[in-house]
Amino acid sequence: MKIEVLEDNARALSFTLKDASNAYANAIRRISMNHVQSFAIESVTFYENSSAMFDEYISHRIGLIPILTPDGYTEEDEILFTLDATGPKTVYSRELETKDKGVKVANENIPIIKLGAEQRLRIDCKAVLGEGAKHAKFQPGLVSYDQTNDNAFNFSVESFGQMPPKEIINKALTRIKEEIKDIEKSAKKL
């Protein structure tokens, strides 16, 4: 197989994969979106919500905010975010504060809710590692490809902000290697 990088920046990666099968190209796409772990807010505890919106609506919006996902964390790790805001104002993702220096919101300008005069929102949120196969909020990006001929595929990778697009692909390839090793071990036992 050969790879030719066409574009590589913080948000997008495009490359051509040559001399590969349809199955391999599709495995890269599916594992990139469904099995590369990233942080997302999984639970929200409301201490005060005098806004016009239901707790569930606010929880859902906060859960979809991309969270930076550096290496070195495990599925057992929980990152605590806090938010305490009083209106009148628009509450943005940058107001989700954490003491963990490596994990924070990927985009600080996502509006969460507009609070009226004297309305208050005071919450704690827990972010955990998860996979896109469990919930879309854990997907680190969008990966697609077009087949140009029998053995060439033009890939496009767009990061949602949790990690650079090149890292998404590298983690997917590592996962493919690990799964192949597991299959080899199982086959040897037969």
Q: Look up the CATH number of the domain holding residue 96.
A: 2.170.120.12
Cα–Cα distance measured from residue 80 to residue 95, given in angstroms and rounded to the nearest whole number? 13
49 with 84, same domain: the answer is yes
Model confidence at 190, in pLDDT bands (50, 70, 90)?
Answer: confident
- The verdict on 8 and 74 lying in the same domain is no
Give yes or no: residues 30 and 42 share one domain. Answer: no
What is the distance between the alpha carbons of residues 162 and 37, in angstroms, rounded to a whole number?
10
Same-domain pairing of 107 and 147: no
99 sits in the region (left: phi over 0; alpha: psi -120 to 50; else beta) called alpha
- Residue ending a domain, among 97, 117, 137, is 137
Higher pLDDT: 187 or 149? It is 187
In this structure, what token pair is assigned to residue 73?
């964390």
Asked, as a colleague might, if the bond just before 88 is cis with ω within 30 of 0, I would say yes
Query: What would the pLDDT profile of 10-51 be if each residue is shown by its tens digit?
Result: 999 999 999 999 999 999 999 999 999 999 999 999 999 999
Q: Are residues 126 and 151 in the same domain?
A: no
| pLDDT higher than 90, residue 79 | yes
Give the largest Cα separation in the chain, rounded.
69
31 and 67 share a domain? no
pLDDT of residue 54: 97
Residues 50 and 112 reside in one and the same domain = yes
Q: Are residues 12 and 76 in the same domain?
A: no
Considering its fold, how many domains does the chain have in total?
A: 2
Q: Is 84 exposed, middle or buried (0-12, 13-18, 19+ CB in 10 A)?
A: middle
* Structure confidence at residue 84 as a pLDDT band (50, 70, 90): very high
Give the pLDDT band of residue 189 (cuts 50, 70, 90).
Answer: confident
Rounded-to-integer distance, Cα 142 and Cα 79, Å = 25
pLDDT digits (tens, 9 = 90+) for 4-21: 999 999 999 999 999 999
Please, what is the average pLDDT of the chain? 96
CB 159 within 8 A of CB 165: yes
Of 117, 137, 157, the residue that ends a domain is 137
Split at pLDDT 50, 70, 90, the class of 169 is very high
Domain, as residue range, for 174: 2-36+140-189
User: pTM to 2 decimals?
Assistant: 0.90
The pLDDT score that the predictor gives to residue 77 is 96
Give 112-157 pLDDT, tens digit per residue: 999 999 999 999 999 999 999 999 999 999 999 999 978 899 999 9
Per-residue pLDDT, 1: 86
User: Using an 8 Å Cβ cutoff, are 143 and 28 in contact?
Assistant: yes
Same-domain pairing of 24 and 70: no
